[in-house]
Chain A
Amino acid sequence: MSVPLLDINRLSIDFVTRNGTVRAIDDISLAVGKGETLGIVGESGSGKSVTSYAVMRILDRAGRIAGGSIQYGGVSLHKAKERDLRDIRGREISMIFQNPRAALNPIRRIGQQVADVLIQHSQATRANAREKAIDMLRAVKIRDPEKRYEAYPYELSGGMCQRVVIAIALACKPRLLIADEPTTGLDVTTQKAVMDLIMELTREFNMSTILITHDLGLAAAYCDRLVVMEKGKVIEANGASELFHAPHEAYTRQLLQATPHRDSNVRDLLPDELRKEAISLPAQRTPGNPILSVRHLRKQFGKPGAEGSHLAVKDLSFQIREGESLGLVGESGCGKSTTSAMVMRLLDTSEGEIEFLGEDIAPVQASKFAAHPLRGKLQMVFQDPTDSLNPRWTAAQSIADPLNRLARDMDSKAREQRVVELAGLVGLPINLLNRFPHQLSGGQKARVGIARAIALQPKLLILDEPTAALDVSVQAVVLNLLEDLKHRLGMSYLFISHDLNVVRLLCDRIMVMQNGEVVEEDNASELLDNPKTDYTRSLLAAIPHPPETGKSAERASV
C-alpha cells in the first residue's frame, strides 16, 4: 500500500444548525489502498456516514468541510469544482445507500435509472444504453433482466432494489465503492446475498471498498481493515482480525461485547460496571401453565383463488407457558407479523382458536377487542420506538395512556404515582417524563414504549423486533431490561425477530416460520446448535461470521 487510492488527512466537518456550529467530524485521518476493503464501524452519530458524504462531496447545505484534505488518485476532492466532481462521482467513486427502495426514483423505470448513469458517463449511447443496462442488471443477478428493466421500484422487494442500486453504482466500473449500511433493514439471508454480491463484483472489477456499518460482526466478516468511530473521531484502526481479537480501546471492547454472537448470554452484552449491578437471573426456569394456546390459526387475505389473494398463515398451532419466552423467527413475508397481529387481536382471523388465559379470543372482532376485559393482559412493544409514540405527547402522557383507558378505577393521583413507578421500573429518569419524543434518545424512547406496555401488568407481552432500530450498546441495555422485567413481573414473551443471535439471548423456545408455516420448533439452544431443517440451517449460515476468534474457547473456560 505505497500510495493509497483514497487518503483522508486530518478532515474536519462542521454543520451549521440553529444552535450554532456543530463539529460532526473532528480531525480524522484514514486511507484506503487499491483493492482493499475498509470497514468503518460506529453507532449513530459517530460521523461515519458524514465522512462518506464528504468524500463524495454530497453533504447537504448545512455541512461544510472545515479543515483537512481528501486526496483521491491525485485529485484534491475537498476543493474540487462541482463540474469536475460530476465526472468523478459514479465513474471513479460511487456509493450504495441504506434503505434501497427510497434510494431509487419511484416514478422511473429501474432500467432507465441504470441507463441514465451509463449515458451520463459516456459508457453507452442512447442506442445501446438499454442493452448495456440489461447486462448490468444481469451482472447483479436480477432474474429476467429484460423484463425487470421495465419495472418500477415499488414492484420489487427490498433486496432486489438494493441490487438495482448496486447496478447503478457499479455501472461505470468505478475504482472505489462506498457502501453505507447497504444491508440494514434487510433479512439475514438477503443481507448475505447482497454482501456476497458486492464482494464478488468489487473483486471482479478490482475495486476498493469502504463498508460503513453499525454491525461489527458484518464488518469483520467482509473487511480487511476496520476503523472504529465515535462522536466524529477515529477511536481505533487495525486489521479486521486483529481488531476483533485484541481490541486496544475501551470503546471498541464495549462495542464488541455488546454485539450478540453465538455464545454470549444476555448479561455478557453489558459493560462491566452495569453487569456488576444487574440482578442475578435464576439458572433454571420452570415454566408454569400455558397462558396462550393457539390452535390451527389461519389467515387468508383476499378471496381464496382470486387474483392477489394470499394465505399468510397456514394452520399454525403453538403454546406459551407462564414465564416463558417464545421466539418467532423468519424472513420478511413469512407471516410472523400477521401472526402477532392476530394474537394481539389487531387483525381478524380466518380460522382457528386463540385461547388466552382460558378464553378463546379469536371470535372477538379486532375492532371490539379494545373493550375486552383481557385487553390489559396482552400488550405489545413495537419495532420503531419513535414512530410508535405520539409526537405531541410527553413521555408521561404516553405511559399513562393505557391507565387512562383501561384502569378506570384508579384516580388521577394513583395514576401519576404509577407512571413514576413504571419509569423507575424501566430505568427512565423521572426528570425526562415531561419530555416529548423528539427530545429523547432512541434508548429512552424504547424505555417509554416498554413502560407503556407493562403499565397494566400484562401476562403476555408481544415484542416485535423491539431493538431492531437501536444501536448495539443501547440494544444490550434494552435486552437486559426486558430480561429483568420478565423475571420481576412474571410475564411471558412472544419475541419476534429476524436476528437469531438476539432471539437466542431472550428465548427459551424458538419457532422458525417460512411461508406461513412453522418449519421447526425446539428449545433455543437445541434449535440453534443442532438445526434439523435446511431452512433453519440457511438462516444460521447467513449470519455474518467474523474471523474465528479464540474467544469462544476462552469464554467456555471462564
Chain B
Amino acid sequence: MTAALEKLRKVALRLLQAVPTVFGILVVCFLLTRALPGDPAAYFAGDMADAESIEEVRRTMGLDQSLPMQFVSYLKDLAQGNLGMAISTGQPVTAELANRLPASLELTLGALVLSFLIAVPLGVLAATRPNTWIDHLCRFLVTAGVSLPTFFTGLALMYVFYYLLDWAPAPMGRLDLMFLPPEPITGFLTIDAIIAGDWEVLRAALAQLALPTITLALFTLAPIARMTRAAMLQAIASEFVRTARAAGLSGRRVLVTYAFRNALLPVVTTLGMVFSFVLGANVLVEKVFAWPGIGSFAVEALVVSDYAAVQGFVLSMALLFVALNLLIDVIYTLIDPRVGEEA
C-alpha cells in the first residue's frame, strides 16, 4: 500500500515539474509569432486600408501596447480558451483546432498502435532467432521504413490499392461523402461511430483510415523494431537472464518477465521520440490523402502568415509533446523502480 502511495507521489512530483515547461512554451510561442515578418494589423485591415484604419485595427488588436502588456492580455484570452481568429478560414482558431486535432490524432495514434503491434513482436522474434528469415525480414522492413519517404509510400499504396485494385475508397478526407458523420463526442470518427452504434460509418471511417495509417506505420515501424531488437539482444545477453536460465525457469518466463520487461524501457523511450517524428511526417501524409488534420491547417496558415492560427498550432503541438513526455515518464516510473531514486 505504501509502495503504491510512493509511486503516486513520484508521479505527482513529475506532473508538477511540467508547470515551468508549459509556461516557457507560452512565452516562446508568444515571442515567436511577434518575431515573424509582416504586419498583422496591415494584413487584417485589408488591401484598401489607409494608415489611419491600420492604426485603428492595431489598437483594437492591442498591438500598440508594450510586449509585456500584450503577453498579459494573451494569457487572459488563453485562460478563456480564446486563441483569436484564423484569417484564412474566418473561424475561431480554437474551433478549428478542436475540429482538426482529433483527425490528426486519430491518424497518428492509429499508426503508432499499428506499428507498435507489428514492430515489437518482430523485434523480439528477430532478437531471439538471429540470422533466420524473421531476422532478415526485420532488417528488410527497417531499411525500407527509413529509406522510403512517406509521401512516396502514400502515393504507391494509393496507386496499388485504390487505382489498380480498387480495394480502398477514394483518398478524400476522413469519411466518404455518402455517409453522415456521427454525433461528435470525442472527435475520433471511429470511436464516435462505435458510441453511436453505427457500424456502417465505422467501416467507412476505418476504410478511409487504412491507407494513411499504413503509410505512417511503415515509417514508424523502423525505429521501434530496431530498438526492440537491440534492447532484446542486450537483455538476453545479460547476466540476470543467464541466472534465470541457470535456475531452470521456462523459456517463456525468461523471455517475458526477465528479458522483455527490461528491454521495454528503451522501447518506451523510442516510442516517445517516434511520436514526435510522426507529427512532423503527418503534414505530408495529410496533404497526400486530403486529410483535414492539423498539419495541413498549419501549413496553409503559415503561407498566409496567419499568426493567430500558427500560434495556436505551435501551442497545441507543444502542449501535446509535454503531455506525451509526461506520459512516457509516468510509464517509466511505473515499470522501472529505480527511476527517481538516485537523487
Contacts and interface: CB of A to CB of B under 8 A. Distances in A.
A88 B337 CA distance: 32
Interface string B253-264: 100011001100
A103 B241 CA distance: 8
B262 A117 contact: no
Q: What is the interface residue range for chain A against chain B?
A: 35 or more
Contact of B240 (A58, A90, A105, A171): A105
Interface stretch (A93-101, A239-247, A343-351, A529-537): A93-101
B248 A121 contact: yes
A93 B240 CA distance: 17
Q: Give the interface centre of B247, B249, B253, B337 by most chain A CB atoms within 10 Å.
A: B247
A88 B250 CA distance: 12
Given A107-B261, A107-B335, A102 B240 contact: yes
A106 B248 contact: no
Contact of B247 (A99, A120, A308): A120
B239 interface: yes
Secondary structure call for the B interface: helix
A303 B192 CA distance: 56
B89 interface: no
A280 to B, nearest CB: 46
A200 interface: no
Contact of B237 (A60, A82, A88, A152): A60
Contacts of B242: 58, 97, 103
A104 B248 contact: no
Nearest to A52: B246
Contacts of A152: 337-338
A120 B245 CA distance: 11
Contacts of A82: 251
Contacts of B245: 56, 58, 89
A493 to B, nearest CB: 33
Interface residues of B, number: 28
Contact of B239 (A56, A91, A103): A103
A99 B238 CA distance: 12
Contact of A117 (B130, B237, B247): B247
B87 interface: no
A196 interface: no
B243 interface: yes
Contact of A97 (B239, B253, B341, B343): B239
A90 B247 contact: yes
Interface of A: 56, 58, 60-61, 82, 85-91, 94-95, 97, 99, 102-108, 116-117, 120-121, 150, 152, 154, 165, 168-169, 171, 308
Interface of B: 3, 130, 237-240, 242-251, 253, 257-258, 261-262, 265, 335-338, 341, 343
21 contacts: A58-B242, A58-B246, A82-B251, A86-B249, A89-B246, A90-B247, A99-B239, A103-B242, A103-B243, A105-B258, A105-B262, A106-B262, A107-B337, A107-B338, A108-B261, A116-B247, A117-B248, A152-B337, A154-B337, A154-B338, A308-B343
